[in-house]
Amino acid sequence: MTIDWLRYARYGELFYSDGTLLTDGTWLVRLDEPIDLLVENPRLPREIVIGALDASRVVVPDSDAVPLKWILPPNIETPACPECYGSGMAYEECLECGGYGFIECPECHQETACGECDGEGTTVSKTEKCAVCGGTGDDPFGPSMQLNGAKFCGRIISLLNLLNVKKWHLQEHRLWFSFDGGEGVAITLSDE
């Protein structure tokens, strides 16, 4: 799975990335396999980024291998994701028309709307989650939600859902987590 990390970064900017360590100041991820995403003039030096991950690091115990259960505050409607229109699934190029949206009638040679994609050129994936909302179907910049009483912004929630977090541990104002391909920490919203 390819992730557009900048989409989940606050203001679309990473403070540091060497391809293995990435942070926007509200989340920090260490990847097992490096990616081709470098920040040429990082706002944070590598030592601080490593220190932030290692200083009060928590090894997530196997007993914490439970799904993240987000709670939406009552009476708040969550807008649909602008990318998947609320389906939570990724869109793929239509195999029938090659993404064109139209096919040529073999008998009269006129173009007609593709029956598979209804002329859109894309179809809903049966296996891949939407890269924008992480499969929730909700706008990633939608309302904050709670996890065991701690509040997180919609952008971080979507990133965690997309990463398919396997294990997590909430400690003070930090959520430590592990996923297939790495580990990380996310910061809760302050109580105002």
| pLDDT tens, residue by residue, 15-68 | 888 888 899 888 989 899 988 888 877 777 777 777 776 655 556 666 556 677
- Domain for residue 27, yes or no? yes
- Same-domain pairing of 59 and 150: yes
How many structural domains are present in the chain? 2
- Same-domain pairing of 155 and 63: yes
- Domain for residue 74, yes or no? no
Q: List beta partners, residue 185.
A: 28, 176
Q: Which domain holds residue 120?
A: 89-129
**Cβ atoms of residues 152 and 186 within 8 Å:** yes
- Same-domain pairing of 10 and 48: yes
- Same-domain pairing of 46 and 93: no
Contacts of 33 (CB under 8 A, 6+ apart): 181
How far, in Å, CA of 131 to CA of 4, rounded? 7
- Same-domain pairing of 125 and 150: no
| pLDDT tens, residue by residue, 83-134 | 888 888 888 899 999 999 999 888 888 898 999 999 999 998 888 888 777 7
Contacts of 74 (CB under 8 A, 6+ apart): none
- Residue 93 carries which side chain, given as an amino acid letter? E
- Same-domain pairing of 16 and 59: yes
